[in-house]
Amino acid sequence: MGSTATLLPDGKRLHLQHGPIDLVIGADGTRDTAFEAARDRFETILDELVAELPELRATISPLSRRPNGAVARRMHDAAMQFRKSGYLTRMAAVAGSVADEVLRAMTDATELRRAYVNNGGDIAFHLEGSERFTAAMMNHNGSLLGQITVTTKDAVRGIATSGRHGRSLSLGIADSVTVLASSAAEADVAATLIANAINLPDHPAIKRRPASEIDDDSDLGDIPVVIECNALSQSDCADALKSGYDRAMSYVQHTSISGAALFLQDYAVATKGHLLSIQNKEEHYA
C-alpha cells in the first residue's frame, strides 16, 4: 500500500503516512506549495530506505560506506558524529532524518516564515525573522514534563526524544530524554545514546530481554533491552541520571547538540541554558 496524505480538520496541518512513517506537518507562508512539495518528496522515502535497509541496520564504523539515498545519507552523517559512543547503527537517526528531508523539500519549494515536520515526536523545523517554535515535553502518562522555546537566534532546528517508553527499544532506563540540535537527525541519535547511558547494570528492579525476542526486525539483534523498571531510590535515580548527564554534556561540548533534558521516575536534570525548562524535581550537576 502506498503513502496517504490527509489535510487535518484545522486546514493548517498535513498528515502523511506510509508504513511505519507518520508525519504531521505545519507551515506558515505559501502553505499549499509547501504541502505539495512535502507530499511529492514523501512518496518515495520508504522505498528508498527499504532498498538500503540491511546496510542501514549494520553497526556503523569509520569504514562504513556512505549510502546512496538522501535520507540514508542524512542517517549516516548524523550517526558518524557519535560512532565512538558504543553500539550504534544508522537506524538511530531514521525518524529525524525523514523529518529533515521532508522539511528541506518544503523550504526549497517556497519561502516560509515557519514550518515543522513532526515524525512521532522527532521534529525538524524552520524559522525566519521573529518567529519561534515552542513545544511541550510530555511524560508517557500524558503529564507535562517541561517546555522548549527556540527562536531564530538559536542554533537549533531539530528536536528528538528517546527512552524506554518510546517507539524504539532502549538499552537504558530513562523515561525520556529530549535533545535539541542543529538537525532532527543529530538530535535523534544523541537522544538515543543519552537514553542508553541512563542505566543501572544488574540492578534487581530492572528487567531486560534480548531485542530480537521483542522485535525480530530490530537492529539491536540479541542485545538486552529494558522491558521493565520498577521503583528506584533517589540515590539510584541520581546515579543513573548522572551517567546520562555526563554523556549529554560531552555532546554539548563536542558535537552539534545545544541541550538536553533527562527524565527518570520523579527526577530530572537538564543541561544549563535558556532553551529548556522542566517541571520535575531536578537534580543539579555542575
Q: What angle do CA 62, 241, 150 make, to 5 degrees?
A: 75
Q: Kindly state the cell numbers that stand for 63.
A: 569504514
Helix runs in 125-200, H state only: 184-197
Structural domains of the chain, count? 1
Q: How confident is the model over 1-22, as a mean pLDDT?
A: 94
Q: Name the nearest CA neighbour of 90 among 51, 57, 49, 47.
A: 57
β-pair partners for 229: 206
Query: For residue 260, what is the domain's CATH number?
Result: 3.10.520.10
- How far, in Å, CA of 83 to CA of 165, rounded? 24
Q: What is the average pLDDT score of the chain?
A: 92
Residue predicted with more confidence, 28 or 171: 28
> Looking at 77-81, 164-168, 206-210, 226-230, which range is the least confident one?
164-168
Residue predicted with more confidence, 178 or 286: 178
pLDDT per residue as tens digits for the range 92-119 = 999 999 999 999 999 999 999 999 999 9
Helix or strand or coil: residue 155?
Answer: coil
- How far, in Å, CA of 97 to CA of 92, rounded? 10
Domain that includes residue 113, residue range: 4-282
**pLDDT of residue 286 exceeding 70:** no
pLDDT per residue as tens digits for the range 26-76 = 999 999 999 999 999 999 999 999 999 999 999 999 999 999 999 999 999
Taking each helix axis from N to C end, the angle separating 184-197 and 70-81, rounded to the nearest 10 degrees, works out to: 40
Q: Where does the pLDDT of residue 212 fall: very low under 50, low under 70, confident under 90, or very high at 90 and above? A: confident
Neighbours of 181 (CB within 10 A): 29
pTM reported for the whole predicted model: 0.93
Q: How confident is the model over 241-259, as a mean pLDDT?
A: 93
Contacts 24+ apart (CB under 8 A), 166-170: 166/121, 167/95, 167/120, 168/192, 169/211, 169/214, 169/215, 169/218, 169/220, 169/225, 170/195, 170/196, 170/225, 170/226
Q: How confident is the model over 238-266, as a mean pLDDT?
A: 94
Q: How confident is the model over 160-175, as a mean pLDDT?
A: 88
